[in-house]
């Protein structure tokens, strides 16, 4: 794990509920009743001895090459060749991707397991390089060895995943995420779009270990904010493993210190585990996890003593199994069935002011090609998530940002009737934004309700007395309580603060069944 000396730009997504990947365009108002019956394959237990055998090999390589496995040094290329050789023998299609940094050649090892949906890639990565000061067995031989053994187990079991599985070992992470940045920068946009999730494992055997998960929904962190859409699902999958073995976890921010950085910067969902670096374990953390309060999670961080003796077997074993749990659970999951969707490219029968109780005098919901407005930043977005049209509060820009925004109270719009299947986990998801000026308050809101034999509010974003620019986010909610019913989706926006500037938009609404 590199030293923190750069900060990634703030992410634009604001997602208060469970996250999903941006919805792809699909036929409007389609219906389906098929039920996904296949189950995910049970994750294996990864033998600790196998993972430690890889660490011994990395230590031997470092010892034979000046005591390190750093970028541009012979110990790094030997490490890359060791990993590639094991993967080649296991049936992977591997690539040694070269790049240049600081006048030296670096390498990423990229390994693809045959099969799975090529348009739905689950990628798992760890950096393989060390600092020049030491062999880097915890940082990050531990992550590299763990994902290598998981990749080899995929081969032993001849796994047939639903997603396409890709593993990566990054070079020059310690010099600023150079290898992973090179990889992401050189992927065509169409190839980037195929990567639906990236799992990162950097330092997973710290001797004074904590159990941290990258905080996909920002439920624990207050710093860098949530990850891109889909990150919460990755976090929850890893959390479910640790919960199953009775180990509490805590969130750690996406602060730019490891190879998830280039992925989240281009909107790819990310997650992973981390057992701590040079940070000091608090008394509360020692009570939670054991170990020594007042001491670094890894006292040998970036030092010559980061050897095979600098590993917690317990932490390494648990984290290797967590990697396998995530790869198997996510990689073999049956994709959800789309029950109904609307991209708003054609009219499907949404009705404005369906109950005849709206009070807004301007900025009424409508379907169309939106025009952008600005007022201390973007307010109404002129872009959509897919296609040309979306649902928007007052499509035209008008003479000023305040001309066609929501004014005078509530504006609502209701979907056509949707028949839900009687079984399975049902979720509604959508892309959305709420924008407002600093004259807003919590009385203003964007809200989504589902109305069937009963009614439930499934999403709310309140206004606040601060300037909020428009930015597309993605949210989802479980609506299984409405299974078997005919329902309608009601979307509302309100200016209830007295002439405050309020804009809202919705695109790509979808209901799925798992």
Low-confidence ranges of the chain (pLDDT < 70): 3-40, 217-226
Show the DSSP H helices in 186-312 as ranges: 189-192, 231-244, 261-265, 283-289
Q: Are the CB atoms for 374 and 506 separated by under 8 Å?
A: no
Distance CA 320, CA 141 (A): 12
Name the phi and psi angles at 142, rounded to 5.
-65, -45
| Whole-angstrom distance, CA of residue 392 vs CA of residue 395 | 6
The sign one gets for the Cα dihedral 375, 380, 385, 386 is negative
Structure tokens at 161: 């995943």
Pairing of strands 445-451, 365-368: unpaired
Residue 71 is predicted with a pLDDT of 98
287-335 pLDDT, tens per residue? 999 999 999 999 999 999 999 999 999 999 999 999 999 999 999 988 7
Nearest to 494 by CA among 393, 416, 350, 401: 393
Q: Would you identify the CATH topology of the domain 48-331? A: Aminopeptidase (3.40.630)
pLDDT at 228: 85
Catalytic annotation present for 492: no
pLDDT of residue 497: 83
Active-site option among 149, 153, 173, 174: 173
pLDDT at 253: 86
Is the CATH number of domain 337-513 3.40.50.720?
no
Which pLDDT value is given to residue 230?
Answer: 84
Q: Let me know: does 268 contact 192? Beta carbons within 8 Å.
A: yes
Largest CA distance in the chain: 79
Give the domain ranges of the chain.
48-331, 337-513
pTM: 0.69
Mean pLDDT taken over the chain? 91
Sign, Cα dihedral of 15, 17, 22, 27: negative
Q: What is the pLDDT of residue 2?
A: 76
Helix or strand holding residue 430 (H, E): strand 426-436
Per-residue model confidence as pLDDT tens digits over 164-197: 999 999 999 999 999 999 999 999 999 999 999 9
d(CA 483, CA 481): 6
DSSP E strands: which ranges in 145-211?
163-170, 195-201
Go through 23-35 and write b for each residue having 16 or more CB atoms within 10 A of its CB, e for each that does not. Answer: beeeebeeeeeee
Q: Is-same-fold flag (48-331; 337-513)?
A: no
Hey, what are 420's tokens?
Answer: 């839900």
């Amino acid at each position: 794990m590199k030293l923190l000396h750069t900060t990634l730009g703030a992410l634009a997504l604001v997602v208060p509920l469970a996250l999903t990947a941006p919805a792809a365009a699909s036929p409007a108002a389609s219906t389906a009743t098929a039920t996904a019956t296949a189950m995910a394959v049970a994750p294996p237990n990864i033998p600790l001895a196998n993972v430690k055998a890889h660490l011994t090999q990395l230590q031997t390589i470092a010892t034979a090459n000046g005591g390190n496995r750093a970028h541009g040094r012979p110990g790094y290329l030997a490490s890359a060749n060791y990993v590639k050789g094991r993967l080649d023998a296991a049936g992977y299609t591997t690539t040694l991707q070269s790049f240049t940094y600081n006048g030296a050649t670096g390498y990423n090892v990229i390994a693809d397991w045959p099969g799975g949906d090529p348009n739905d890639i689950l990628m798992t990565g760890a950096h393989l390089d060390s600092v020049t000061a030491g062999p880097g067995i915890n940082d990050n031989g531990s992550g590299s060895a763990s994902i290598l053994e998981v990749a080899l187990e995929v081969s032993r079991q001849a796994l047939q995943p639903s997603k396409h599985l890709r593993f990566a070992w990054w070079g020059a992470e310690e010099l600023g995420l150079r290898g992973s940045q090179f990889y992401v920068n050189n992927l065509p946009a169409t190839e980037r779009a195929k990567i639906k999730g990236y799992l990162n494992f950097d330092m997973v055997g710290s001797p004074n270990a904590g159990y941290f998960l990258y905080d996909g929904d920002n439920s624990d962190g207050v710093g860098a904010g949530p990850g891109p859409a889909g990150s919460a699902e990755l976090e929850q999958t890893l959390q479910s493993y640790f919960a199953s073995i009775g180990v509490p976890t805590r969130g750690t921010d996406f602060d730019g210190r490891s190879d998830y950085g280039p992925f989240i910067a281009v909107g790819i969902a990310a997650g992973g585990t981390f057992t701590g670096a040079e940070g000091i374990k608090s008394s509360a953390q020692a009570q939670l996890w054991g170990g020594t309060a007042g001491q670094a999670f890894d006292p040998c961080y970036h030092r010559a003593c980061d050897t095979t003796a600098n590993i917690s077997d317990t932490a390494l074993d648990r984290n290797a199994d967590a990697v396998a749990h995530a790869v198997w659970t996510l990689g073999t999951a049956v994709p959800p069935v789309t029950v109904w969707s609307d991209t708003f490219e054609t009219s499907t029968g949404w009705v404005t002011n369906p109950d005849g109780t709206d009070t807004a005098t301007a900025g009424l919901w409508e379907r169309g090609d939106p025009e952008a407005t600005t007022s201390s930043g973007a307010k109404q977005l002129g872009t959509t998530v897919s296609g040309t049209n979306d649902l928007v509060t007052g499509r035209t820009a008008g003479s000023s940002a305040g001309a066609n925004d929501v004014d005078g109270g509530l504006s609502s719009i209701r979907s056509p009737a949707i028949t839900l299947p009687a079984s399975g986990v049902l979720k509604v998801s959508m892309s959305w934004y709420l924008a407002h000026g600093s004259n807003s308050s919590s009385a203003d809101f964007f809200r989504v309700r589902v109305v069937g034999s009963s009614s439930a509010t499934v999403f709310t974003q309140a206004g606040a007395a601060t300037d909020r620019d428009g930015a597309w986010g993605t949210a989802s909610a479980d609506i299984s309580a409405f299974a078997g019913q005919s329902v309608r989706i009601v979307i509302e926006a309100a200016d209830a603060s007295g002439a405050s500037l309020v804009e809202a938009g919705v695109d790509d609404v979808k209901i799925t069944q798992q």
